[in-house]
């Protein structure tokens, strides 16, 4: 911390010199603690679940604040990464509702007591791989897995009711979006509580988890699903998310193949209310696919009033 105590007066020092020195000192001290970045129109709610505080980030675009009709909701996991990115794409590409309809954006962040890896490994995975002996080739580095059933209840009983109570949200247009483990969790939600959301956007879902346990369970869960179920499912992955010769390819994991198998199971399930779209984005890998996926998904699921403008 700077000290703004000036030395005693010296011969030739004028009041003007002293004031200038004092102003410089105060300016330098203020520069040490610049204000934090703030995003207009956002709010943070703290929700307690299993003894932890989960921040729920919410962004309301101005048109949704002003109009009386309800806006769609997009709920995303991994908020520290996904929330600001989706917000920026909606605001820039959306062109104030012209290209993308304005929507309420909500993001579930991690508890302050957790690392991102520990939080998402615990809450987004459906089975506890630590409860059984490790299989050859497995490398699960987190301590706890398999909390998805309870986390789904948290979303159903706390997150969505709070959002519906606090904001004007269209209950018929509630969209879930998750990537990687977040995509795996979205697949779990779809198979176990399909009516929570009208749309499920699953980006590079980690269906390989626990030796593809969720894929194996899917036919039985789909057969038990009520025939009145209505949901649109959008599956995305990058073309490099499968075994191949380059550094961007996987050595063994076939995320593209697993996603396509899941798509096939959904389409063969004799569930007329399930609408499935599957897309492999060229020249994208697990780290790069998310931003273009978000742009495409929002343009297709929430088209604006038009006419479309490219800027």
Mean pLDDT over residues 197-208, rounded? 99
240 and 128 co-located in one domain = yes
**Does 154 reside within a domain?**
yes
Tell me the pLDDT tens digit for each residue of 59-78: 999 999 998 889 999 999 99
51 and 113 co-located in one domain = yes
**Does 242 reside within a domain?**
yes
Q: For the chain, what percent of residues have pLDDT higher than 70?
A: 90
**Does 128 reside within a domain?**
yes
263 and 209 co-located in one domain = yes
* Across 38-42, 161-165, 208-212, 261-265, least confident range: 38-42
**Does 288 reside within a domain?**
yes
pLDDT score, position 22: 58
17 and 74 co-located in one domain = no
pTM over 0.85? The answer is yes
126 and 260 co-located in one domain = yes
**Does 308 reside within a domain?**
no
Res 9 pLDDT > 50: no
- Provide the pLDDT confidence category of residue 15 given band limits of 50, 70 and 90: low
pLDDT score, position 2: 46
Pair 78, 120: CB distance under 8 Å: yes
231 and 200 co-located in one domain = yes
Pair 194, 229: CB distance under 8 Å: yes
150 and 232 co-located in one domain = yes
- Kindly state the tokens that stand for 309: 């403008």
157 and 83 co-located in one domain = yes
Compute the half-sphere exposure of residue 206: CA atoms within 13 Å on the CB side of its CA.
16
Res 199 pLDDT > 70: yes
Find how far residue 110's CA is from the centre of its chain: 11
189 and 143 co-located in one domain = yes
30 and 74 co-located in one domain = no
Find how far residue 193's CA is from the centre of its chain: 19
Mean pLDDT over residues 76-88, rounded? 98
Res 276 pLDDT > 60: yes
How many structural domains does the chain have? Answer: 2
160 and 234 co-located in one domain = yes
100 and 249 co-located in one domain = yes
The torsion angles phi and psi of 88, rounded to 5 degrees, stand at -65, -40
**Does 307 reside within a domain?**
no
Tell me 251's DSSP state: S
Pair 298, 88: CB distance under 8 Å: no
**Does 30 reside within a domain?**
yes
Report the CATH number that the domain containing residue 264 is assigned in CATH: 3.40.50.1820
The overall average pLDDT reported for the chain is 92
What span, in angstroms and rounded, lies between the C-alpha atoms of 177 and 7?
A: 61
**Does 311 reside within a domain?**
no
Res 6 pLDDT > 50: no
Which residue has better confidence, 59 or 11? 59
- Provide the pLDDT confidence category of residue 166 given band limits of 50, 70 and 90: very high
The residue assigned the tokens 């779209």 is: 277
Tell me the pLDDT tens digit for each residue of 119-143: 999 999 999 998 888 888 788 889 9
What span, in angstroms and rounded, lies between the C-alpha atoms of 81 and 78?
A: 6
- Kindly state the tokens that stand for 106: 């909500």
Name the residue among 114, 123, 107 with its Cα closest to residue 55. Answer: 107
- Provide the pLDDT confidence category of residue 30 given band limits of 50, 70 and 90: low
Res 23 pLDDT > 80: no
Domain membership of residue 62 as a residue range: 41-301
């Amino acid at each position: 911390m700077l000290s703004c105590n000036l030395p005693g007066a010296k011969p030739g020092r004028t009041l003007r010199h002293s004031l200038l020195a004092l102003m410089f000192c105060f300016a330098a001290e203020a520069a040490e603690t610049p204000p934090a970045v703030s995003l207009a129109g956002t709010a943070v709610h703290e929700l307690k679940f299993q003894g932890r505080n989960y921040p729920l980030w919410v962004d309301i675009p101005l048109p949704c604040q002003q109009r009386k009709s309800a806006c769609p909701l997009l709920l995303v996991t991994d908020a520290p990464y996904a929330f600001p990115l989706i917000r920026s794409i909606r605001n820039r590409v959306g062109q104030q509702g012209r290209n993308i309809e304005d929507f309420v954006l909500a993001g579930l962040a991690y508890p302050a007591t957790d690392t991102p890896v520990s939080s998402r490994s615990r809450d987004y995975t459906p089975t506890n791989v630590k409860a059984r002996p490790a299989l050859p080739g497995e490398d699960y580095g987190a301590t706890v897995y398999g909390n998805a059933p309870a986390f789904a209840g948290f979303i159903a009983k706390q997150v969505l009711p709070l959002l519906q109570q606090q904001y004007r949200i269209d209950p018929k247009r509630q969209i879930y979006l998750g990537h990687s483990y977040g995509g795996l969790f979205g697949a779990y939600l779809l198979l176990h509580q399909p009516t929570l959301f009208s749309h499920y956007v699953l980006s590079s879902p980690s269906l390989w988890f626990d030796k593809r346990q969720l894929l194996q369970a899917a036919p039985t869960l789909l057969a038990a699903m009520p025939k009145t179920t209505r949901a649109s499912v959008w599956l995305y992955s990058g073309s490099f998310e499968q075994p191949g010769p380059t550094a961007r390819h996987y050595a063994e994991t076939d995320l593209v193949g697993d996603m396509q198998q899941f798509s096939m199971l959904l389409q063969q399930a004799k569930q007329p209310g399930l609408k499935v779209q599957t897309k492999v984005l060229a020249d994208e890998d697990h780290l790069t696919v998310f931003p273009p996926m978000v742009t495409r998904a929002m343009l297709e699921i929430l088209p604006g009033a038009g006419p479309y403008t490219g800027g």
